Amino acid sequence: MTDIDRIALVTGANKGIGFEIARQLAVAGVRVILGARDAGRARTAVDRLAAQGLATQSVPLDLNDPTSIAAAAAAIDAENGKLDILVNNAGIVDPADGAPSASAPDAVRRILDTNVVGTLAVTQAMLPLLRRSPTGRIVNLSSSLGSLTLNGDPTSPYYAARLIGYNASKAALNMLTVQLAEELRGTPIVVNSVSPGYVKTDLTGHTGYMTAEEGAKLPVHYALLGADGPSGRFVGPDGPTPW
* Three-class secondary structure assignment of the chain: CCHHHCEEEEECCCCHHHHHHHHHHHHCCCEEEEEECCHHHHHHHHHHHHCCCCCCEEEECCCCCHHHHHHHHHHHHHHHCCCCEEEECCCCCCCCCCCCCCCCHHHHHHHHHHHHHHHHHHHHHHHHHHCCCCCCEEEEECCHHHCHHHHCCCCCCCCCCCCHHHHHHHHHHHHHHHHHHHHCCCCCCEEEEECCCCECCCCCCCCCCECHHHHHHHHHHHHCCCCCCCCCEEEECCEECCC
Structure pTM? 0.95
Q: What confidence score (pLDDT) does residue 208 get?
A: 63
Least confident of 19-23, 65-69, 130-134, 226-230: 226-230
Q: How far apart are CA 207 and CA 107, in angstroms?
A: 22
Does 205 score more than 80 pLDDT?
no
When pLDDT is cut at 50, 70 and 90, the band that residue 207 belongs to is low
Mean of the per-residue pLDDT values of the chain: 94
* Residue 166 a catalytic site member: yes
Instruction: With a cut of 80, say whether residue 203 has pLDDT above it.
Output: no
Query: In the chain, pLDDT over 90 holds for what percent of residues?
Result: 89
Give tens-digit pLDDT for 65-106: 999 999 999 999 999 999 999 999 999 999 999 999 999 999
CATH class of 3-90+126-144+171-240: alpha beta
Q: Which of 15, 158, 170, 222 is catalytic?
A: 170
Contact 9, 35 (CB under 8 A): yes
Q: Where are the domains positioned within the chain?
A: 3-90+126-144+171-240
Q: Which of 15, 158, 166, 200 is catalytic?
A: 166
Is 15 assigned a catalytic role? no
Per-residue model confidence (pLDDT) at position 115: 98
Average pLDDT over residues 138-142: 98
The answer to whether residue 169 scores a pLDDT higher than 80 is yes
Window from 30-39, 73-82, 134-143, 199-208 with minimum mean pLDDT: 199-208
